[in-house]
């Protein structure tokens, strides 16, 4: 569509400047130190939705950070797309590993470097700009509702409540999210599955105070030694998780699902090279795509205790801690898995220590259909702008709200992500390609147009050269 491309070309620099302004706001939801900034980011999103032409823009208060809601209903008889994204970001730590400050976005090698550049400010902002393109060129083909939250990186607890309490307001035909990744810039893909999550913190307590490791060492249990042994016992030599009942509900792929997953282009050498590892590791009997997409996993995310400062202090610590995540797949249930973990972990503790397990947040796994009109609309949109049909893929990350959309609103989601696994989300030097940012803004309008056409029952010509029939 020339009018869209013309508008995008004309406003290209401003579209980037505005994203930069958003990236400068350190909206770290996990750390109360950034509270004011999270509110500032919400306000920024509010203003930009209004400027882009959204109506009924609202700041919806929650028990935590606000949800920014907006809509443009052009004709109630047309289909409605509910766009979801998040304006909060992960903590930038460790600061010292960033080559440039995380909240001072810069462009290097055609990429935007900043915390949130990809996850999810860059991808969320594409939707506001794609809407602007459609709206300002008078070519919005569907009704649209926006719901942007500020607590995704801390578990979306209040969003779950908001969705359950606002079913009418959020009535739509489909949910559209850009918060996932594609295989490569020349191998577009659409995510069709996300893993769920159980996240716990464990605390192991030995003696009532830190002890001299010479006076007591060897005679009193060291909680760090004990904790590491307990953690090691959570997986066997075959890479299987040992928690009783853990795999009971795991969906085993049908031959068709297996063939589809393993039809995904994957280059193991490139994967290893990018991570600078000599070998991969995981559950026996499964390949990397299966291990990260359709099999559950268990990882220690952080572990601490004792003396970690300069030099050597001889101490037998009183306490040891770890944060442990479990990625879940259909049909595992996050609360049940957390319960099974707690039971088993407590049973692993020797009588010489006390153990507590505190659940953090969780989320259910989700799969999205590939035979829906919405998937087809997304697929054809990619085909138009990338010149290639996208491949369906499973992502290992979690977006807990996707399962809730289905449960509470009976809505299916299309995961139209434009990030890359190499974008270093949650890591130092997170970045997002300029190509990806602009390609997203270019592709999203085609989704709306195709979705409108397909819902109407018109035959849309799927070709890389031919325009979708109006």
Residues contacting 325, CB < 8 A, separation 6+: 197, 198, 199, 298, 299, 301
Per-residue x/- marks for ligand BES, 93-122, CB under 6 A? Answer: --------------------------xx--
List the alpha helices (DSSP H) in 233-299.
Answer: 255-262, 268-275, 288-293
C-alpha span between 457 and 470 (Å, rounded): 12
Q: List the single partner that 440 binds among Mn ion, ligand BES, none, CB under 5 to 8 Å by kind.
A: none
Question: 96 by DSSP, 3-state: which?
Answer: helix
Residue of the chain from 70, 399, 404, 460 that contacts ligand BES (CB under 6 A): 399
Q: Which residues pair with 60 in a beta bridge?
A: 67
Q: H/E element holding 337?
A: helix 334-348
* 395 binds, options ligand BES, Mn ion, none, Cβ within 5 to 8 A by partner type: ligand BES
Q: Binding to ligand BES by residue 400, rule CB under 6 A?
A: yes
CB contact at 8 A, 435 and 118:
no
Residue 398 interacts with, from Mn ion, ligand BES, none (CB under 5-8 Å by kind): ligand BES
At 200 the three-state DSSP class reads strand
Cite the DSSP H helix spans in 195-245.
Answer: 223-232
Residue with smaller CB distance to Mn ion, 114 or 221: 114
**Residues 6 or more apart from 35 whose CB is under 8 A from it?**
none
Closest separation in Å from C-beta 120 to Mn ion: 4
Q: Which residues contact 406 (CB under 8 A, 6 or more apart)?
A: 366, 412, 413
Q: Which one of residues 71, 132, 149, 395 is an interface residue with ligand BES (CB under 6 A)?
A: 395
Please say which residue, 143 or 181, places its beta carbon nearer to ligand BES.
181
Least CB distance to Mn ion at residue 154 (A): 10
State the greatest distance between any 2 C-alpha atoms of the chain, in Å, as a whole number: 82
Q: Which of 85, 83, 89 is nearest to 105 (CA)?
A: 89
132 binds ligand BES (CB under 6 A): no
Residue 292 contacts ligand BES per CB under 6 A:
no
Task: Kindly identify the residues of this chain, within the stretch 11-70, that bind ligand BES according to CB under 6 A.
Answer: none
Q: Strand, coil or helix: what is 410?
A: coil
Q: Which of residues 351-370 bind ligand BES (CB under 6 A)?
A: 361, 363
Tokens of 115: 């915390």
The SS3 assignment for 458 reads: coil
> Cβ closer to ligand BES: 141 or 293?
293
Out of 27, 181, 292, 453, the only residue in the binding site for ligand BES (CB under 6 A) is 181
Does the footprint of ligand BES cover residue 153 (CB under 6 A)?
yes
Judged by beta carbon, residue 155 or residue 440, the one nearer ligand BES is 155
Q: Report what 67 binds from ligand BES, Mn ion, none; CB cut-off 5-8 Å by kind.
A: none
Q: Among the candidate windows 36-44, 151-159, 265-273, 458-466, which touches ligand BES by CB under 6 A?
A: 151-159
Question: From the candidates 149, 151, 152, 179, which is the catalytic residue?
Answer: 152
- 149 touches ligand BES (CB under 6 A): no
By the 8 A CB rule, do 331 and 124 touch?
no
**88 noted as active-site residue:** yes
- CA–CA dist 374, 174 (Å, integer): 7
Sites of contact with Mn ion (CB under 5 A)? 119-120, 179
Between strands 354-363 and 196-205, the pairing is antiparallel
- Whichever of 66 and 150 has its CB closer to Mn ion, that residue is 150
Specify which residues 362 forms β-bridges with.
198
237 is catalytic: no
| Residue from 373, 417, 367 nearest 394 by CA | 367
Q: Does residue 179 belong to the site contacting ligand BES (CB under 6 A)?
A: yes
The one among 70, 83, 197, 460 contacting ligand BES by CB under 6 A: 197
Residue 141, contacted partner among Mn ion, ligand BES, none, CB below 5-8 A by kind:
none
How far from 175 is each of 115, 243, 394, 450, CA to CA, in Å?
A: 25, 35, 18, 15
Nearer to ligand BES, 326 or 399 (CB): 399
Partner interacting with residue 155 (select from Mn ion, ligand BES, none; CB below 5-8 Å by kind): ligand BES
Find out whether 4 and 137 touch, Cβ atoms under 8 Å.
Answer: yes
Kindly name the residue from 18, 88, 430, 442 that is annotated as catalytic: 88
Closer to ligand BES by CB, 132 or 152: give it. 152
Q: Which residues have a catalytic role annotated?
A: 88, 152
Where do contacts with ligand BES occur on this chain (CB under 6 A)?
119-120, 152-153, 155, 179-181, 194, 197, 361, 363, 395, 397-400
């Amino acid at each position: 569509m020339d009018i869209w491309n013309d508008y995008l070309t004309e406003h290209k620099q401003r579209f980037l400047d505005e994203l930069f302004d958003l990236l400068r706001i350190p909206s770290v939801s996990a750390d109360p130190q950034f509270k004011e900034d999270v509110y500032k980011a919400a306000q920024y999103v509010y203003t930009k939705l209004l400027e882009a032409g959204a109506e009924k823009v609202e700041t919806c208060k929650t028990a935590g950070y606000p949800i920014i809601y907006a809509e443009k209903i052009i004709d109630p008889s047309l289909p409605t797309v509910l766009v979801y994204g998040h304006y909060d970001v992960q903590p930038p730590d460790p600061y010292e590993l960033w080559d440039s400050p995380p909240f001072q976005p810069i462009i290097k090698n055609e990429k935007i470097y900043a915390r949130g550049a990809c996850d999810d400010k860059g991808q969320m902002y594409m939707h506001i700009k794609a809407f602007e393109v459609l709206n300002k060129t008078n070519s919005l083909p569907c009704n649209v509702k926006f719901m942007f939250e500020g607590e995704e990186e801390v578990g979306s607890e209040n969003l779950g409540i908001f969705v359950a309490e606002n079913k009418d307001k959020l009535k739509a035909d489909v949910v559209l999210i850009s918060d996932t990744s594609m295989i490569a810039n020349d191998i577009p893909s659409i995510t069709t599955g996300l893993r769920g999550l159980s996240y716990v913190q464990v605390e192991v307590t030995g003696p009532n105070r830190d002890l001299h490791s010479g006076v007591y060492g060897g005679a009193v249990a060291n909680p760090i030694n004990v904790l590491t042994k307990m953690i090691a016992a959570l997986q066997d030599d075959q890479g299987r998780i040992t928690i009783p009942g853990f795999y009971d509900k795991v969906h085993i792929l049908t031959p068709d699902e297996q063939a589809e997953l393993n039809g995904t282009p994957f280059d193991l050498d490139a994967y290893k090279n990018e991570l600078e590892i000599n070998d991969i590791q995981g559950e026996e009997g499964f390949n990397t795509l299966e291990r990260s997409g359709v099999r559950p996993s268990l990882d220690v995310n952080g572990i601490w205790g004792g003396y970690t400062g300069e030099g050597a202090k001889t101490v037998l610590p009183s306490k040891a801690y770890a944060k442990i995540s479990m990625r879940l797949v259909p049909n595992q249930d996050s609360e049940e898995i957390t319960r099974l973990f707690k039971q088993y972990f407590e049973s692993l503790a020797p009588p010489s220590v006390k153990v507590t397990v505190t659940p953090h947040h969780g989320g259910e796994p989700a799969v999205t259909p590939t035979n829906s009109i919405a998937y087809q609309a997304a697929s054809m949109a990619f085909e138009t702008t990338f010149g290639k049909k996208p491949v369906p893929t499973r992502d290992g990350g979690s977006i807990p709200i996707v399962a809730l959309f289905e449960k509470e609103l009976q809505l299916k989601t299309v995961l139209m992500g434009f990030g890359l696994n190499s974008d270093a989300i949650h890591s130092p030097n997170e970045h997002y390609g300029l190509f990806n940012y602009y390609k997203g803004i270019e592709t999203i309008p085609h989704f709306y147009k195709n979705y409108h056409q397909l819902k109407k029952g018109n035959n849309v010509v799927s070709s890389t050269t031919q325009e979708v029939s109006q």
